[in-house]
Amino acid sequence: MKVRLKIWRQPNAAAPGRFETYDTPDLNPNMSFLEMLDVVNEDLTARGQEPVAFDHDCREGICGTCSLVINGKPHGPHRGVATCQTYMRSFKDGDTIVVEPFRARPFPVIKDLIVSRKAFDKIMQAGGFISVRTGAAPDANSLPVPKPAADEAMDAAACIGCGACVAACKNASAMLFVSAKVSQFALLPQGQPERERRVLRMVQAMDEAGFGACTVTGSCEAVCPKNISLDFIARLNREYARALLKGG
C-alpha cells in the first residue's frame, strides 16, 4: 500500500512551520505508524532530503513519547492505544494522512513533530513523590491496603504522561494527567504524609505552566491511550477542596 502524508515541518519553536506533502514508498499494512515514518525517513535520506523529526522510545505503548496528532486525533483513530500501537492497516491504500505535533502553548515545538513536555516534569517535581522510605519489598499484609483502593491506584498509575489529554482539550487542560498523578498517591498509605501539600503544589504548578481550565468535555478521556477515567478529575477536585479546608 501507499499513502500520501501531509506532515508538519518546523525547524524550532521560534520559526514558522508549514505542512509538506510526501508520497510514501510501498508499505506493509502490518507495520506500525512509526515504522512507516522510519521508511519515509529512509527514503528522504536516500534522496538527500532532511528526515522528519519525531519522538519515540519503547514503541510498546509504555513510554508515552510517540505524541502525534493523526488526522486531527491524538495518537490516531483508535481508542486505548498510543501512536506506536497504530498500524497502517487502519488506513486505506491511497489515503491522505495529516500528521502534526500536539498543539498546546505549554508544549512548544522543538522540531517538526517533537514537542517539549517539560511542563509535565515540573508538575511531577512539585509533588509527584512520597517521602516514605519504602526499602525492600515488605512482608505480605504488613501494610494492608484495601483491594478497591489498590485497584483504583493502579488504574491512576497507568497514566504514561503522553499529553494526549492536553492536545485533545479545547482549553489545553492538564487536569486528567494531574488527577491521575495525585490520585495514585492519595489512595495509598504511603502517599498520606504529603497528601494536602501534594495536590496544592501540583495544581499550582499546572496553573503556572499555562494549562487551561477543565470544562469536562470528556475529550481527554476519549483519546487517552490508557483509558484514564474522568472520575479521577472528580477525585482531584475533592482532594483540592480537602487540602484547602485543612490549610495545606
Give every CB contact of residue 243 below 8 A, 6+ residues apart in sequence. Answer: 195, 196, 197, 199, 200
Q: What is the pLDDT of residue 130?
A: 85
Given a cut of 80, is residue 110 above it in pLDDT? yes
pLDDT over 90 at 69, yes or no: yes
User: DSSP assignment, residue 32?
Assistant: B
Q: Quick one: pLDDT band at residue 246, thresholds 50, 70, 90?
A: confident
Q: Do 194 and 131 meet the contact criterion of CB atoms below 8 Å apart?
A: yes
For 201-221, the pLDDT digits (tens) are: 999 999 999 999 999 999 999
Return the sign of the alpha-carbon dihedral for residues 92, 94, 96, 97: positive
Residue 190's pLDDT is 87
What confidence category does residue 128 fall into, taking pLDDT thresholds of 50, 70 and 90?
confident
Q: How is residue 77 annotated by DSSP?
A: S
| Contact present, 175 and 235 (Cβ < 8 Å) | no
Q: Is 63 exposed, middle or buried (0-12, 13-18, 19+ CB in 10 A)?
A: middle
Alpha helices in 72-143 (DSSP H): 118-127
The edge-to-edge listing of strands for the beta sheet with 96-101 is 18-23, 4-9, 96-101, 68-70, 73-74
How do residues 130-150 score in pLDDT, each as one tens digit? 887 766 766 666 778 889 999
Length of the chain (residues)? 248
Question: What value does the mean pLDDT of the chain take?
Answer: 94
Element (H, E) at 22: strand 18-23
How many other CB atoms are found less than 10 A from the CB of residue 27? 18
pLDDT of residue 129: 84
Residue 46 cell numbers, joined: 536516500
Averaged over 34-62, what is the pLDDT?
96
* pLDDT the model gives residue 247: 76
Q: Using the predicted structure, report yes or no on whether residue 20 has a pLDDT greater than 90.
A: yes
Assess whether pLDDT exceeds 90 at residue 111: yes
In this structure, what C-alpha cell is assigned to residue 213?
A: 481550565
Predicted pLDDT at 125: 95
Nearest to 7 by CA among 77, 103, 112: 112
C-alpha to C-alpha distance for 41 and 19, rounded to whole angstroms: 16
pLDDT, tens digit, for every residue of 159-215?
Answer: 999 999 999 999 999 999 999 999 999 999 889 999 999 999 999 999 999 999 999
Domains of the chain with bracketed CATH: 4-111 (3.10.20.30), 118-131+145-245 (1.10.1060.10)
Tell me if 47 sits within 8 A of 103, measured CB to CB: no
- Any idea what the Cα angle at residue 155 is, between residues 150 and 157, rounded to 5°? 90
| pTM, entire model | 0.92
